[in-house]
Amino acid sequence: MTDNSVPPVCLTIGSSDSGGGAGIQGDIKALASIGCFTATVIVGLTAQNTTGVLSRHPVPVDFMCAQFDAVRADLAVRAVKVGTTWSAEHIVAIAGRLTGLRVPVVLDPVMVSAAGGDLAGTDARAALIESLFPLADVITPNAAEARLITGDETAGTRTLAQRLIDLGAPAVVVTSGGSDEGDWFADGRSLERLDRPTHRTGAEHGAGCAHSALITGLRAQGYPLPEAVSKATEIASRAVRDGLTSVGRGVHPVDALGLPPRIPRPRVPRAPAQHA
């Protein structure tokens, strides 16, 4: 493990979620919850809330690269998470910056948000396989994203995990979103189901982002991949269990950070009445 007195620096590459529950904002919270410092590269902006993605705007590729270069020039990055990648052009540029970095890379190919909304184009899917799969430590799609990548619209999560390995992924976690299919981990040598309790709280917004961010942070802390995946699965499950069901009118956000109860305002005693 690493020196506990120094927070490991993780870099998350992805999109801003104006609703605060997922994306870059969700990653920062999840990584902070396990003692990591988070640097960011914003690939795109979304106007979204718990009910869905209302609008989206990509960041120009040259400015995206400038963010990456600024972080790398100053901070000792220990692990990288790649989330929403938006376009083939963005993906190729990200891959160019990651080549030779020699730290764990967690690829979370966010194409469909929990609140609804397609966040990637068709051209991006082929670029993911060709440019980012070879650089990844593990990829962490949900079942819908795994089906988009593989082109198999009917396979279950167990089959999807093996299909992604066949496409060149070094290791895979396919999450089911709480369905009976379960979450599956594959690394080309083994294929195993990840046991976790199912919490139907209605607070799943940001669950996938938190899960992949937690794997990233645990890898930055020196955990072997299988242990990092298992531990991240446990923590992310708790974040759904303890989700913020009073926040938003749609798919409520997870609570990866473990927000404490509000501190009650002190009661100011009334001054005694003055009598003539």
How far from 149 is each of 12, 45, 121, 124, 159, CA to CA, in Å?
A: 21, 23, 11, 10, 13
Whether the pTM exceeds 0.85: the reply is: yes
Average pLDDT, integer, range 247-275: 82
Q: What is the mean pLDDT of residues 115-144?
A: 81
**CA 257, CA 105: separation in Å to the nearest integer?**
22
pLDDT of residue 266: 77
- Confidence class of residue 68 from pLDDT cuts 50, 70 and 90? very high
Average of per-residue pLDDT across 158-164: 96
Ordered by where they begin, the domains of the chain are: 9-144+202-241 (3.40.1190.20)
Instruction: Round to whole Å and give the CA distance between 5 and 124.
Output: 40
CB contact at 8 A, 177 and 143: yes
The tens digit of pLDDT for each residue in 191-230 reads 999 987 889 899 999 999 999 999 999 999 999 999 999 9
Question: At how many degrees (to 10) do helices 143-150 and 157-166 cross?
Answer: 40
Residue 160 has a pLDDT of 96
**Which band of pLDDT confidence, cut at 50, 70 and 90, is reported for residue 90?**
very high
pLDDT of amino acid 211? 97
